[in-house]
Amino acid sequence: MTSFEVSSFAKINWTLEILGRRADGYHELRTILQTIDVCDQLQFSATKSEIVLTCDHPDVPCDETNLIVRAAMLLKDLTGCDKGAKIDLQKRIPMGAGLGGGSSNAAIALLSLTKLWELDVSPHDLFRLGSQLGSDVPFFFFGGTGIGIGRGDEVYPMTDFQSPYLLLVNPGVHVPTREIYANLPSELTSSPAMNKMPFSLQAAYARMRRETWKLRNDLEYPALALYPLIGQIKQQLMTLQAIAVLMSGSGSTVFAIFESDVARTQAINSLGNSDWWCAATRTLSRDEYQAALAEVSDFGFRTLG
């Protein structure tokens, strides 16, 4: 196989809780992640030795600062592989938007280059490389609904949660993640994470099923304080009959949950005069996600924890 194309899907966070500051300086997280059907496209072609990345979006760097290139270099370092690749990225997921576009790209690059270069790399080695690239990267090896704890990179598959009528709205504001974490309220960061109550994955999911739309994102408070436009979008979506509205990740994308396609379409039409990026989407189950990656992933990530 010398050339192929793979979809690189986005995610939203149903919940994101900050449980204190860890001894290593990071924040202890508890987050429930969800793949959705908005995606970038990545084209991989074999070359002799160089890694060449191109992109149709002028603001995307194509050098060593891009997670795709970094993923390729980590994989070459791990395996001693001297092969190369030409990678073309068609960017559809907004940048700096809390949708995990860069992390998804990195995970897809690791899987695809392992296949392209015919490497013998275990799932655990790929998880380790993914964790080095970003806390969300391991989640994109299996998709569907999953829970992230620790720094967010310790990820476990959960029973898929379905929501067919989602709407994403992004105002075009690039939100620096470091800036958001630096402005967290002191009550979320002053307590050491080790003093927090033990966490039960089963109890968390049972609670989510009972209280379906009681979503939470502890990063919203600093994000809305620094970027009031995000709060304005939330308020407007609620007036458009959304069941619930939440900022995803560290922002700036807001997702809204609707009861029907008719209600969602009416909301899109009402937002038609704005300059905001809007996308109708839905949740993507683990089976659907794995089927989309079948050409490059045969590791059985469904059960890896």
- Residues that are catalytic: 11, 136
- Looking at residue 219, what DSSP letter applies? T
Taking the CA atoms of residue 261, residue 166, residue 210 and residue 162 in that order, the dihedral angle to the nearest 10 degrees is 90
List the one residue out of 294, 12, 296, 4 whose CA is nearest residue 163: 12
Q: Which element (helix H / strand E) includes 238?
A: helix 228-239
**Maximum distance among all Cα pairs of the chain, rounded to whole angstroms:** 56
How far apart, in Å, are the Cα atoms of 51 and each of 80, 129, 171? 14, 18, 33
Distance CA 26, CA 36 (A): 27
Q: Are 163 and 255 in contact (CB under 8 A)?
A: no
